[in-house]
Amino acid sequence: MMALGRAFAIVFCLIQAVSGESGNAQDGDLEDADADDHSFWCHSQLEVDGSQHLLTCAFNDSDINTANLEFQICGALLRVKCLTLNKLQDIYFIKTSEFLLIGSSNICVKLGQKNLTCKNMAINTIVKAEAPSDLKVVYRKEANDFLVTFNAPHLKKKYLKKVKHDVAYRPARGESNWTHVSLFHTRTTIPQRKLRPKAMYEIKVRSIPHNDYFKGFWSEWSPSSTFETPEPKNQGGWDPVLPSVTILSLFSAFLLVILAHVLWKKRIKPVVWPSLPDHKKTLEQL
């Protein structure tokens, strides 16, 4: 019985020793790093500075300890095999004109010489559009609409010219949902009848690559603009359409009467009421 108890005790101690050991290994840092989820995202921005492109990457998990971690991109580069990204707080980036923009690159998270995780990405398919700017809204009284114009940085670029825009607006107060309008030009109109009268509206716009070759993500939203809708025109139920219709129909009726009168004398009367031959006159002639 004693021997059995001792055997159990020894086994128990062994198990403890083994499980304890894995916790205080000398290369614990490396193992911790392995255990972390190093999933990351990257996006590119083309021609941000002359012919230079920008690649930005970051970890999905913002709590990750990035102290010794590096990002490296290899392949599909012009004059070099690999480039290491710069680090600014938790964001990794590189501005370069070395991207070939053809074929895909390997983007790896490195701890020392070791690749922790790699992703195969093509720079031309992870393009984040640049946010539009100068969003302006002008009320056009005659047209009963609002003319919306903005500036898209892509218009001046060589590679990614075709982008789709998403204009969103809503009343500034309250919790209304945004109304979205998709467009490919940098101007559009919002009919006044689609908006509440005498209300302040908030409006913003963003863009996404719309191209067979360059694909990717929505830009940030442009800074919001505001505009105010005018007071309702037909106050007190006075409708400017109704009186004009009345005047118009009265005028047409008047015209019809005159026309009928003229025609009656010249055309219709002779037909429906032909002048009978004067018997007396005819007889006299004989």
Ligand X SMILES: *[C@@H]1O[C@H](CO)[C@@H](O)[C@H](O)[C@H]1NC(C)=O
Residues that bind ligand X (CB under 6 A): 39, 41, 60, 74, 106, 108, 113-115, 118, 176-177
Helices (H), the chain: 2-23, 28-35, 241-263, 269-272, 279-285
Q: Of 113 and 282, which has the nearer Cβ to ligand X?
A: 113
CB 250 to ligand X: min, Å = 45
Q: Of 135 and 195, which has the nearer Cβ to ligand X?
A: 195
Phi/psi of residue 38, nearest 5 degrees: -100, 30
Q: Of 56 and 222, which has the nearer Cβ to ligand X?
A: 56
CB 147 to ligand X: min, Å = 26
Burial 251-277 (b: 16+ CB within 10 A, else e): eeeeeeeeeeeeeeeeeeeeeeeeeee
CB 103 to ligand X: min, Å = 13
Cβ atoms of residues 93 and 54 within 8 Å: yes
Written as six digits, the tokens of 265 are: 């004398």
CB 177 to ligand X: min, Å = 4
Q: Of 74 and 83, which has the nearer Cβ to ligand X?
A: 74
Q: Kind of pairing, strands 105-111 and 200-209?
A: unpaired
Q: Of 176 and 225, which has the nearer Cβ to ligand X?
A: 176
Amino acid at 107: I
CB 213 to ligand X: min, Å = 21
Q: Of 41 and 254, which has the nearer Cβ to ligand X?
A: 41
CB 198 to ligand X: min, Å = 19
CB 249 to ligand X: min, Å = 41
Q: Of 16 and 39, which has the nearer Cβ to ligand X?
A: 39
Cβ atoms of residues 107 and 42 within 8 Å: yes
